[in-house]
């Protein structure tokens, strides 16, 4: 339950990072990332990813360089979230969440 750096590989990864402050990097593939309570930074790759975080101020960046259809759900806290170019679903919680999208504003349902 400490502060950790967690790295995924080039395939489909399932990462359960647990509680504590984490730096999680899921690479290419269709990844599932779960991080518990703490202030986390989570980055995902090109695939269709599912990211779920616990309470804390988490920074999420999905689809680095890719257009996957991602599902992102964050816990309580102030969370900056960047979706990629795909069909992303972002679910916020209490706190001040900020979402940044790629593409035309006409393509968004908020």
pTM of the model: 0.85
pLDDT tens-digit map of 85-104: 788 888 999 999 998 877 66
- CA pair distance 36, 22, nearest whole angstrom: 9
pLDDT tens-digit map of 47-65: 899 999 999 999 998 876 5
Residue 61 lies in a domain: yes
Residue 53 lies in a domain: yes
pLDDT band for position 106 (cuts 50, 70, 90)? low
- CA pair distance 44, 65, nearest whole angstrom: 9
Query: How many domains does one find in the chain?
Result: 1
Give residue 28's pLDDT. Answer: 86
Residue 80 lies in a domain: yes
Per the prediction, the chain carries an average pLDDT of 87
Residue 76 lies in a domain: yes
Residue 43: in which H helix or E strand, if any?
strand 41-43
Q: Which two tokens stand for residue 26?
A: 């899921």
């Amino acid at each position: 339950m400490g502060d950790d750096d967690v790295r995924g590989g080039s395939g489909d990864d399932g990462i359960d990072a647990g509680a504590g402050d984490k730096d999680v990097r899921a690479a290419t593939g269709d990844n599932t990332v779960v991080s518990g309570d703490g202030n986390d930074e989570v980055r995902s790759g090109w695939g269709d990813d599912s990211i779920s975080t616990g309470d804390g101020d988490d920074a999420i960046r999905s689809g680095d360089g890719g257009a996957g259809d991602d599902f992102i759900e964050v816990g309580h806290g102030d969370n900056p979230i960047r979706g990629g170019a795909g069909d992303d679903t972002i679910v916020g919680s209490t706190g001040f969440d900020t979402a940044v999208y790629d593409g035309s504003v006409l393509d968004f349902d908020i």
